[in-house]
Amino acid sequence: MIYKFNHGENYYIYDVSSNNILKVEKIIYDIIEEFQSLDLNSSINSGRNSTIPSLNRIINKFQTKYSIEMIKKAYNEILFYRKNHGIFTFKKPSAMAFPYSMTEIMKILNSKLEQLILNVTENCNMRCEYCVYSGKYKYERTHSKKKMSFSTASRAIEFFFKHNANSERIAVTFYGGEPLLNFSLIRKCVELSKKLAFKQGKDSRLTFSITTNGTLLDKNKINFLIKNNVGLLISLDGPKDIHDKYRKFINGKGSYTLIIESLKRIRELNPEYYKEKVGFSVVTLPEHLDSVVKFFGSYNLVTETDNLIINMVSTDDTSFFENYDFKTQLRKYRETIRKLRNMYKKYLVEGNYDSLSFKPLRSLFDKKMILIHKRLLSMVGEEIYPNGICLPGSRRLFVSTDGKFYIRVKSLN
């Protein structure tokens, strides 16, 4: 299977069988479909060439556009790369498979856990309207007074360290609700984790992080976080008018001003920590996306850090969008995304990577570009794995306030 696309006078073929993206001459771009139109898979496997399109057939079809010599050259070039490099074989796998044996599964789960997420409280000092725990999401819990005890946390941490002997990455993350409402527990968990990591010779691999709404960051908490190099992912949805529209305290007041004060406090206490360890988590609606990108590409306080995550409000099983004009907003969103993507491509082509305006665009588009750039280049085998294969719990193990293990958590803090 192949897919063709062009940009101006440049012509490309994506060869599914090898996962290659090939820049080709226009003549190859034109005649390659004559090869794909036939079932080459069966002929290649059986050693027969009967279904390869004849040279005369291609000459007859394209001789009004190209000379016979050009067609012969392109035809032989396709056959050469198919035979010697496995390109343009249109090979298809014959069976579905699972990439791990039971032995491998047990080895990974027993020795390669990577991240422990402790849900230290289900309580929150805010009531963000689109939060998954707001009561507007059908299958999610709501806020409660539950909080994790040190007995539960210590058992989870000890379990984690007994099962990460071969992990290159060891991360302990604190989550809520608002995790800083149970800061005394976070202190104890950091101390215990560092003690166990040092005892097992893993202290250089250990990292900490907190997902927080950023409203409870007083000087004492900040100094502790700086001392222990704890990463902070702070919820900030853009300029004040947009942020305060949905991210509100229980009394209905917006939280923007308090968060900005917290950010200034962190930067004043330790500018290097602020630059390296503070990041922002954005949740937004289609109509605000353009303004969010402009804010994070221009406001000096937030452009000093590179860690930015932009998510759209979840539309799954929610009453949040009951009075929302999806059709109109979807059209606007597509127009905005198209404009922003073109801006992103312009920065890439010009090599203008240091521009502040480029940072929020990278948050939107880098991940997909990196997936393409780092894709596995190999021929399709006889077996293929289903998409999304992973070992649940190996990369992230979530522990609820009462000590239950979960393999997935939806985060919209």
The CATH number of whichever domain residue 337 belongs to comes to 3.20.20.70
Which pLDDT score, from 0 to 100, does residue 389 have? Answer: 62
Residues 244 and 373 in one domain: yes
Number of structural domains (the chain) is 2
Residues 68 and 177 in one domain: no
Which pLDDT score, from 0 to 100, does residue 97 have? Answer: 74
Residue 392 lies in a domain: yes
User: Are the beta carbons of 211 and 411 closer than 8 angstroms?
Assistant: yes
Residues 21 and 160 in one domain: no
Residues 134 and 29 in one domain: no
Domain final position from 85, 115, 143 = 85
Which pLDDT score, from 0 to 100, does residue 38 have? Answer: 57
Which pLDDT score, from 0 to 100, does residue 1 have? Answer: 80
Structural domain of residue 76, as residue ranges?
2-85
Which pLDDT score, from 0 to 100, does residue 132 have? Answer: 92
Angle (deg, nearest 10), helices 55-62 and 68-85: 130
Residues 47 and 142 in one domain: no
Domain final position from 54, 85, 116 = 85
Residues 330 and 377 in one domain: yes
Which strands form 396-399's sheet, in the order they lie side by side?
307-312, 278-284, 231-235, 206-212, 170-175, 115-119, 396-399, 405-406
Distance set, CA 227 to CA 208, 221, 222, 280 (Å): 11, 10, 9, 20
pTM for this structure? 0.83
Residues 236 and 311 in one domain: yes
Residues 165 and 74 in one domain: no
Which pLDDT score, from 0 to 100, does residue 49 have? Answer: 43
Residues 221 and 254 in one domain: yes
Strand 20-24, strand 10-15: pairing: antiparallel
Domain final position from 42, 57, 85 = 85
Residue 359 lies in a domain: yes
Which pLDDT score, from 0 to 100, does residue 377 have? Answer: 76
Residues 30 and 167 in one domain: no
Residue 413 lies in a domain: no
Per-residue pLDDT for the chain (413 aa), expressed as one digit of tens each?
Answer: 888 999 899 999 998 888 889 999 999 999 998 877 654 444 444 444 445 678 888 999 999 999 999 999 999 999 898 888 888 887 777 777 777 778 888 888 888 899 999 999 999 999 999 999 999 999 899 999 999 999 999 999 999 999 998 888 899 999 999 999 999 999 999 999 999 999 989 888 999 999 999 999 999 999 999 999 999 999 999 999 999 999 999 999 999 999 999 999 999 999 999 999 999 999 999 999 999 999 999 999 999 998 999 999 998 899 989 888 888 888 888 999 999 999 999 999 999 988 999 999 999 999 888 888 887 777 777 777 666 567 777 788 999 999 999 876 554 44
Residue 301 lies in a domain: yes
Amino acid at the residue 126: M
Q: Could you tell me which of 121, 166, 170 has the C-alpha nearest to residue 141?
A: 121
Which pLDDT score, from 0 to 100, does residue 99 have? Answer: 74
Residues 214 and 70 in one domain: no
Which pLDDT score, from 0 to 100, does residue 388 have? Answer: 59
Residue 95 lies in a domain: no
Residue 412 lies in a domain: no
Residue 93 lies in a domain: no
Which pLDDT score, from 0 to 100, does residue 40 have? Answer: 44
Angle (deg, nearest 10), helices 183-199 and 150-162: 30
Which pLDDT score, from 0 to 100, does residue 9 have? Answer: 92
User: Are the beta carbons of 172 and 137 closer than 8 angstroms?
Assistant: no
Residues 56 and 151 in one domain: no
Residue 198 lies in a domain: yes
User: Are the beta carbons of 363 and 343 closer than 8 angstroms?
Assistant: no
Distance set, CA 122 to CA 133, 145, 393 (Å): 9, 6, 21
Residues in the chain: 413
